[in-house]
Protein backbone atom coordinates (compact mmCIF):
# COMPACT_ATOMS: atom_id res chain seq x y z
CA UNK A 1 0.00 0.00 0.00
CA UNK A 2 1.45 3.38 -0.86
CA UNK A 3 1.38 6.32 1.51
CA UNK A 4 -1.29 8.21 -0.39
CA UNK A 5 -3.75 5.31 -0.09
CA UNK A 6 -2.84 4.80 3.56
CA UNK A 7 -3.51 8.42 4.53
CA UNK A 8 -6.69 8.54 2.46
CA UNK A 9 -7.96 5.56 4.47
CA UNK A 10 -6.87 7.23 7.71
CA UNK A 11 -8.79 10.39 6.78
CA UNK A 12 -11.85 8.32 5.84
CA UNK A 13 -11.83 6.55 9.22
CA UNK A 14 -11.13 9.86 10.99
CA UNK A 15 -14.25 11.36 9.41
CA UNK A 16 -16.38 8.58 10.92
CA UNK A 17 -15.18 9.31 14.48
CA UNK A 18 -17.13 12.22 16.00
CA UNK A 19 -15.66 12.44 19.49
CA UNK A 20 -12.15 13.62 20.43
CA UNK A 21 -11.33 10.45 22.41
CA UNK A 22 -12.46 6.86 21.80
CA UNK A 23 -11.96 3.47 23.40
CA UNK A 24 -10.09 0.97 21.24
CA UNK A 25 -9.88 -2.78 21.65
CA UNK A 26 -6.57 -4.23 20.52
CA UNK A 27 -6.19 -7.13 18.12
CA UNK A 28 -3.58 -9.87 18.06
CA UNK A 29 -0.60 -8.79 15.96
CA UNK A 30 2.49 -10.56 14.68
CA UNK A 31 4.75 -8.32 16.74
CA UNK A 32 3.28 -9.41 20.09
CA UNK A 33 0.10 -7.36 20.40
CA UNK A 34 -2.46 -8.90 22.76
CA UNK A 35 -6.11 -9.14 21.85
CA UNK A 36 -8.78 -7.51 23.99
CA UNK A 37 -6.79 -4.76 25.72
CA UNK A 38 -8.92 -1.62 25.94
CA UNK A 39 -7.34 1.83 25.76
CA UNK A 40 -8.59 5.41 25.58
CA UNK A 41 -6.87 7.25 22.71
CA UNK A 42 -7.22 10.38 20.62
CA UNK A 43 -9.27 9.98 17.47
CA UNK A 44 -6.23 10.53 15.21
CA UNK A 45 -4.37 7.67 16.88
CA UNK A 46 -7.48 5.52 16.70
CA UNK A 47 -7.82 6.09 12.95
CA UNK A 48 -4.22 5.03 12.32
CA UNK A 49 -4.49 1.90 14.46
CA UNK A 50 -7.74 0.89 12.79
CA UNK A 51 -6.27 1.30 9.30
CA UNK A 52 -3.15 -0.64 10.37
CA UNK A 53 -5.54 -3.39 11.60
CA UNK A 54 -4.04 -3.31 15.09
CA UNK A 55 -7.28 -2.34 16.88
CA UNK A 56 -10.99 -1.80 16.47
CA UNK A 57 -13.44 0.66 17.98
CA UNK A 58 -15.05 -0.59 21.17
CA UNK A 59 -18.78 -1.08 21.21
CA UNK A 60 -20.93 1.07 23.48
CA UNK A 61 -21.14 -1.83 25.94
CA UNK A 62 -17.36 -2.32 25.99
CA UNK A 63 -16.82 1.41 26.44
CA UNK A 64 -19.20 1.41 29.39
CA UNK A 65 -17.27 -1.45 31.01
CA UNK A 66 -13.97 0.36 30.39
CA UNK A 67 -15.16 3.62 31.96
CA UNK A 68 -16.74 1.80 34.92
CA UNK A 69 -13.45 -0.04 35.58
CA UNK A 70 -11.44 3.17 35.29
CA UNK A 71 -13.84 4.95 37.63
CA UNK A 72 -13.55 2.14 40.20
CA UNK A 73 -9.74 2.25 39.98
CA UNK A 74 -9.78 6.03 40.41
CA UNK A 75 -12.07 5.83 43.44
CA UNK A 76 -9.94 3.10 45.05
CA UNK A 77 -6.80 5.13 44.45
CA UNK A 78 -8.40 8.25 45.91
CA UNK A 79 -9.62 6.33 48.97
CA UNK A 80 -6.14 4.92 49.52
CA UNK A 81 -4.60 8.38 49.15
CA UNK A 82 -7.05 9.82 51.68
CA UNK A 83 -6.40 6.93 54.06
CA UNK A 84 -2.65 7.48 54.01
CA UNK A 85 -3.04 11.26 54.22
CA UNK A 86 -5.04 10.98 57.44
CA UNK A 87 -2.79 11.31 60.42
CA UNK A 88 -3.89 10.57 63.93
CA UNK A 89 -2.50 13.01 66.42
CA UNK A 90 -2.18 11.86 70.00
CA UNK A 91 -1.02 14.00 72.84
CA UNK A 92 1.71 11.87 74.31
CA UNK A 93 0.90 12.95 77.85
CA UNK A 94 -2.67 11.71 77.59
CA UNK A 95 -1.58 8.40 76.14
CA UNK A 96 0.95 7.84 78.90
CA UNK A 97 -1.60 8.75 81.60
CA UNK A 98 -4.18 6.38 80.14
CA UNK A 99 -1.60 3.62 79.91
CA UNK A 100 -0.61 4.10 83.53
CA UNK A 101 -4.24 4.09 84.66
CA UNK A 102 -4.83 0.86 82.77
CA UNK A 103 -1.75 -0.74 84.30
CA UNK A 104 -2.95 0.13 87.79
CA UNK A 105 -6.41 -1.36 87.22
CA UNK A 106 -5.12 -4.60 85.72
CA UNK A 107 -4.03 -7.42 87.90
CA UNK A 108 -0.51 -8.65 87.28
CA UNK A 109 -0.36 -11.61 84.95
CA UNK A 110 1.22 -14.61 86.55
CA UNK A 111 3.78 -16.37 84.43
CA UNK A 112 3.35 -20.08 85.00
CA UNK A 113 7.06 -20.85 84.53
CA UNK A 114 8.27 -18.31 87.08
CA UNK A 115 5.60 -18.99 89.66
CA UNK A 116 6.10 -22.74 89.62
Tell me if 97 is assigned to some domain.
no
Distance between CA 40 and CA 73 in Å, rounded? 15
E strand or H helix at 6: helix 3-16
Number of domains composing the chain: 1
Tell me if 62 is assigned to some domain.
yes
* Contact call for residues 31 and 10 (beta carbons, < 8 A): no
Domain hosting residue 21, numbered range: 1-70
- Nearest by Cα to 49 from 65, 66, 25, 69: 25
pTM over 0.85: no
Tell me if 53 is assigned to some domain.
yes
The Cα-based distances of 48 to 26, 28, 54, 80 in angstroms read: 13, 16, 9, 37
Mean pLDDT of 47-66: 95
Tell me if 26 is assigned to some domain.
yes
**pLDDT tens per residue across span 78-106:** 888 887 776 555 556 666 677 777 777 66
Cα torsion for 42, 27, 52, 39, to the nearest 10°? 10
pLDDT at 92: 60
Tell me if 89 is assigned to some domain.
no
Amino acid sequence: MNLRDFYNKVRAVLNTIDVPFVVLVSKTTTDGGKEGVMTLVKRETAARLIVEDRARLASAEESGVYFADESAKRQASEAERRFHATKLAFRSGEVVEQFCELQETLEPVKNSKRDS
